[in-house]
Amino acid sequence: MAFLVSPGVQVKEVDLTNVVPAVATSIGAIAGAFQKGPVSSVTTITSEEDLIKNFGKPNDSNFETFFSAANFLQYTNSLRVVRAESGVVNAVASGTAILIRDTDHYQGSFAAGEASVGEWAARSAGTWGNSIGVSICATATAYEEMLTSSNQTVGEDAVGSTSIAVDNIDLADDEIHVGDIISFFTDSAGTTPVTGEDGKQYEVTAIDTSTNVATIKRLDDPNGGGVHNVIPDNSFIKRRWRFYDRFDGAPGTSAWATQNGRGSGDEIHVVVYDTTGDITGFDVDSNGNRQNAIIETFANMSKNPNAKTAQGNTNYYPNVIYNQSENIFWMDHNSGGSNWGTDTTSAYTAVDTPTATNLASGTDDYAVTAGEIESAYDKFSDTESIDINLVIGGPSSIVADTSSGQDTHVTMITDLVEKRKDCVAFVSPHRGATVNVANDTTQTENVKTAFDLCPSSSYVVFDSGYKYMYDKYNDEFRFVPLNGDIAGLCANTDRVADSFFSPAGFNRGNIRGAIKLSYNPNQAQRDILYRARINPVVNFPGQGVVLFGDKTALTKPSAFDRINVRRLFLLLEKAIATAAKFQLFEFNDEFTRAQFRNLVEPFLRDIQGRRGISDFRVIADASNNTGEVIDRNEFVADIFVKPARSINFITLSFIATRTGVAFTEVGGA
């Protein structure tokens, strides 16, 4: 400390308010195959709606993984998800499709236009991206154009006609494009509509360059239909970009470019839309669905890489797409925009034809291998950067629907939680063990045999099967693994009680959304399962589906063979270890040791008051911090606790006595 060498006042602060912090105990984690979403990176999900938004809907190939995650989110609101990297690739505009795992991968490998896949790629891998269309409007001419007298209508078109003949449908600088919105006028300035056609517009659905005929339909009319009125010969045509009415006006020169003396014509509009109806439910080409099929719009972006908005944010269109789009990545400039992406004082190259690009070649691969699913779960292995508490195994048949396939999956997850030692994993038997197996004796044998192959661990919890639930996304009923629900019960127990309470039983163990079970063990079968470390899930008439056991997968008789004790120690270890970090690099003397005891003991008294432990003792003194320990720059604290135990067995004795007998004579008190 500094010393005063002349009279004065020195002020200093000493912070002795350290406490053992609260730590998370309800964060879930799952990995598997999904319809879309980032690949091989951890994403935080807070709700089922969020899960759909980021990873897509369930299908026949991945519903077990999806609903394991979704069922967990019925009980809590924090889940980490990793999409396994299998044979998936992103849909692209052209060329050979590639895999863009996530935004980090994009920024490191593709953000400068390194890939030769055209202008756009889907934001994540999968066939879902094959439903994306992207349209660019880069100039005022592309936005709106009055065609000249060189391209007027040819012949009179009757009411209801859907075929319009013109002079030269692909005349340079005067052409009509598929998707254009057209209207008819009597004058070249486009001020006087054809009789009865004021406000009437039509969408071009096809063009025939050999006959110069455009096929049209009424704009945004669910019934389609042709022209409302007779279109006279030599009527003038105004064409507009397909999505012009979703913008305030045509792209031009941005205020930033004008103020900074940069090139004119730098603005660009972009629309992302659904070409099949698989994303929005509306196909852009179906009658009346043009507006409904629009997914995203981006107005008045700039082709200049240094462009800014009025608020000072980047307005360069690849950056805006990266920052704001949920569906696409920019991959390259339009081939006609020779100076797009440069900071120039010259006019930007005009691309006067609106472009419409349908992405293609995206692929799915739900048949993940053992190595691929293990690599996905390995993304959770770093305890310092990723905080998780409840690992959801999902389908144990994800590799193979056999006992050995289950053993491979469960062993992999056991290795993960044993390595981390700060979380608990939940696994179910493989699907074929109980689903569509008619004999419950066979089901019992299948479940026991499969779990007998799995390793012993107090960090893993086994359950007995699958629940039958309604899939609202596909309007059918499905059997899904129970492990997402069991993990959810632990999270719900944290909310309504504490993590050191048992999640089982009629008070806290009710499974949500279960219509029935694939396997409903009776008392004798539950005895077999419980001795084999398997927690039965039972459908009790009038009381619902209930988790009826709270064992861990530990074979050795121990306090740690119960879920509540294992989770109690995870809470204590995590919280106290977090607080103990602040003792690093302090002196190992009695002051520091007393400070540590004063930190930990109030925390343990609080846990004791909340019924988690019955007694405790903290030893951090000269008896375990000897001179040798101090000389090794170590600090040792021994924390003894007596954990509270959950009731698994109740004995009620009813004793009848004669009328004249005193209860003290037979009751011992």
Residue 295: its H or E element = strand 294-302
556 vs 335, 408, 532, 613, CA distance in Å?
68, 22, 11, 22
558 vs 500, 554, 607, CA distance in Å?
16, 8, 21
3-state secondary structure of 208: strand
3-state secondary structure of 237: strand
Residue % of the chain over a pLDDT of 70:
99
pLDDT at site 668: 60
Triad 602, 606, 611: Cα angle to 5°: 145
Architecture of the domain delimited by 28-86+367-563: 3-Layer(aba) Sandwich (3.40)
- Give 478's strand partners: 469
| Better pLDDT: 241 or 651 | 241
pLDDT at site 103: 96
Which tens digit of pLDDT belongs to each residue from 170-209? 999 899 999 999 999 999 999 999 999 999 999 999 999 9
Q: What are phi and psi of 124, to 5 degrees?
A: -145, 165
pLDDT at site 576: 92
Average pLDDT in the chain: 95
* Spans of all domains in the chain: 28-86+367-563, 103-137+266-358, 140-246, 588-669
- For residue 669, pLDDT over 60 is answered with no
Which tens digit of pLDDT belongs to each residue from 297-307? 999 999 999 99
Nearest alpha-carbon partner for 360 in 626, 63, 94: 94
Q: What are phi and psi of 446, to 5 degrees?
A: -60, -45
Compute the average pLDDT of residues 311-340. 96
Q: Which residue has the tokens 């004249």?
A: 660
Compute the average pLDDT of residues 222-240. 96
Nearest alpha-carbon partner for 68 in 458, 526, 433, 397: 397
3-state secondary structure of 170: coil
Q: Which residue has the tokens 């950056």?
A: 319
Q: What CA–CA distance (Å, rounded) separates 25 from 490? A: 9
pLDDT at site 645: 87
Q: What CA–CA distance (Å, rounded) separates 143 from 147? A: 13
| Better pLDDT: 651 or 633 | 633
Compute the average pLDDT of residues 49-73. 97
- For residue 482, pLDDT over 80 is answered with yes
pLDDT at site 24: 87
pLDDT at site 4: 77
